[in-house]
Amino acid sequence: MSKRALSLQAHPDDAEFACAGTLALLAGKGWEIHIATMTPGDGGTKEYSREEISKIRTAEAAKSAAILDGQYHCLWCDDVFILYDRPTLLRAMMLVRQIQPTLVFAPSPSDYMQDHEITSKIAQTACFTAGVVNVDTGEAKAFEPVPYLYYCDPAGGIDILGNEIKPTTLVNISSIMETKEKMLSCHQSQQDWLKKHHDIEYLDAMKARAAKRGSEIGAAFAEGFRQHLGSAFPTDNLLKTELGKSVHVK
């Protein structure tokens, strides 16, 4: 089994909120880390042009991934316009085949905005079709087996109807919370923007989210996940196997 993990999220900083702590723990176990976003975050500003903010945010994302000696990838879709269509799917399939991850993290299937939900569906399809040889992705060749797929918590821990999402796997990230905070702090453009225009304390919001999940397992901080268990996907809990006592299964 190759120790290669991919976080495929919608926007820069999504991984830092949702799964950076778990990625850090995996990195400590010798895993190779990849963080990818569908967009460069070109809508996250009121100061810069799309081109300017895209350069800023992708540089911030690369800096964050480098903290884990990881690589950052962008699929260059537009904010708000991530589509479940053939061209976008092929971009994601190509990325997954190039990296050949054993483990993939994706957004929640039900989340506060469509970019996250469509990315979740794209990630599922890219994993499911990893070994489908008649889907041509050029030099990025099909591979087996289907990667393990885990869905991260949605924003606020609720679905679009306000119902609480209950994770089935919680990872105690208390020991590496400083790393998670350091990674999120790389996204300085968003920290400034959200404080100025939404009165949101960026780092405090992340800590509160992690503290809530931590309280569910008697820890200071945790991240929550649900494993995709549909046909063709592996069903043993790889996070539990790799991270041992740090993982609590419900």
Number of domain units in the chain: 1
- The pLDDT assigned to 47 comes to 87
Residue-range definition of the domain harbouring residue 213: 4-249
Burial class (CB in 10 A: 0-12, 13-18, 19+), 78: middle
DSSP at 202: H
Amino acid at 87: P
Candidate from 15-24, 145-154, 196-205, 212-221 with smallest mean pLDDT: 196-205
Q: What is the pLDDT of residue 202?
A: 85
- The pLDDT of 135-150, averaged and rounded, is 97
Domain at 226, CATH number: 3.40.50.10320
Q: What is the pLDDT of residues 29-40, one digit of tens each?
A: 999 999 999 999
How large a percentage of the chain has pLDDT more than 90? 91
Nearest to 207 by CA among 223, 190, 226, 191: 223
- DSSP-assigned states of every residue in 94-149: HHHHHH--SEEEE--SS-SSHHHHHHHHHHHHHHHTTT-TTS--TTS---SSPPEE
Q: Which of 197, 22, 13 is nearest to 5 (CA)?
A: 22
* pLDDT confidence bin for 246, thresholds 50/70/90: very high
Region 134-152 average pLDDT = 97
Residues 64, 177: Cα–Cα separation, whole Å: 14
Query: Rounded mean pLDDT of the chain?
Result: 96
65-107: pLDDT as tens digits: 999 999 999 999 999 999 999 999 999 999 999 999 999 999 9
Closest alpha carbon to 12 in 41, 33, 54: 41
For residue 198, what pLDDT is reported? 66
Q: What is the mean pLDDT of residues 186-205?
A: 82
Per-residue pLDDT, 192: 79
Mean pLDDT of 234-240: 98
Residue 197 is predicted with a pLDDT of 65
Region of 100 on the Ramachandran plot (φ > 0 left; ψ -120 to 50 alpha; else beta): left
Q: What pTM was estimated for this model as a whole?
A: 0.97
Return the pLDDT at 13.
96
Residue 54's contacts (CB-CB under 8 Å, 6 or more residues apart) are: 40, 41, 42
